[in-house]
Amino acid sequence: MRSQRIKHVPSLATATVAAALLLSGCGGGTPQAATGPVSPTDSASASASATESSASPSPTSSPSSQASTQAGPALCKADSLTALTDASGGGAAGSVYMQLILSNSGTEPCLLQGFAGVSLTAGADGEPIGAAATRDESSPVADVLLAPGEAGTAVLRYTQARNYADCKVVAAAGYRIYPPNDTASLFLPQPTDACSNPEISLLTIGAFEPK
């Protein structure tokens, strides 16, 4: 029995060597990509790169490249204006040409832009008499910036009421003046004749210009 066991040992050794040679022969084909474990240093570097990429904000334009959105001066309002007229310009053919002057009596700059609303009225709190002023659009509209104390002017023409045969003449106490784009008004005392007929227009107003 002992001699039989000794004879089987070489056979097992031979089989083991043959299996090793067979496996070695199978590995001689085309090399495959390495898939070994990543070292701790390489893993930490990859993780840090991914974190920085996700945390980095997307590029934005610098403040200097963005347009300024600061608000400009407010429009001039009746409560910060004073009104007067200058009739030194004279008149012709039954008309009187005046400068309507609006001055900034407030503490901040303001903007006059366009045409005033003007009508004759029976008093400071009275209703308009006749037709309101028509616009003379022969001159372009300009932005008139008024610092405190400065004024803008517009040409106001008054046509004599008695030039119209069908005019129903009534006494007016002065002018009601609405600054451009305002619903509040100023009263300028200046007694004159008016026509109560709404179809007769005695007044013409131009756009404001710097004084």
Q: Say which residues have a Cβ less than 8 Å from residue 168's Cβ, sequence separation at least 6.
A: 195, 196, 197
Q: What pLDDT is attached to residue 87?
A: 87
Q: What pLDDT is attached to residue 93?
A: 73
Report in angstroms the alpha-carbon separations of 36 from 32, 47, 84, 110. 11, 18, 95, 77
Q: What pLDDT is attached to residue 14?
A: 44
Q: What pLDDT is attached to residue 70?
A: 59
* Residue % of the chain over a pLDDT of 90: 60
The span from the CA of 125 to the CA of 176, in Å, is: 9
Q: What pLDDT is attached to residue 22?
A: 42
- Spell out a b/e string for 188-202, using b for 16 or more CB atoms within 10 Å of the CB, else e: beeeebbbebeebeb
Q: Positive or negative, the Cα torsion across 21, 26, 27, 28?
A: positive
For the chain, which residues make up each domain, given as ranges? 74-210
Query: Which residue positions in the chain have pLDDT lower than 50?
Result: 1-41, 43-44, 46-53, 55-56, 61-69
Q: What pLDDT is attached to residue 176?
A: 97
Q: What pLDDT is attached to residue 141?
A: 94
The pLDDT tens digits of the residues spanning 33-43 come to: 444 444 444 54
**Residues 150/211, Cβ–Cβ less than 8 Å:** yes
Q: What pLDDT is attached to residue 6?
A: 41
Burial class (CB in 10 A: 0-12, 13-18, 19+), 61: exposed
Q: Say which residues have a Cβ less than 8 Å from residue 2's Cβ, sequence separation at least 6.
A: none
Residue 100 pairs in a beta bridge with 85, 154
Q: What pLDDT is attached to residue 102?
A: 98
The pLDDT tens digits of the residues spanning 114-132 come to: 999 999 999 999 899 999 9
Query: Which H helix or E strand runs over 20?
Result: helix 2-26
Estimate the share of the chain in helix, then strand, then coil, as percent rounded to the nearest 5. 25, 35, 40
Strand bridging mode 95-104 / 81-86: antiparallel
Q: What pLDDT is attached to residue 5?
A: 47
Q: Which CATH number fits domain 74-210: 1.10.3470, 1.25.40, 3.40.50, 2.60.40?
A: 2.60.40
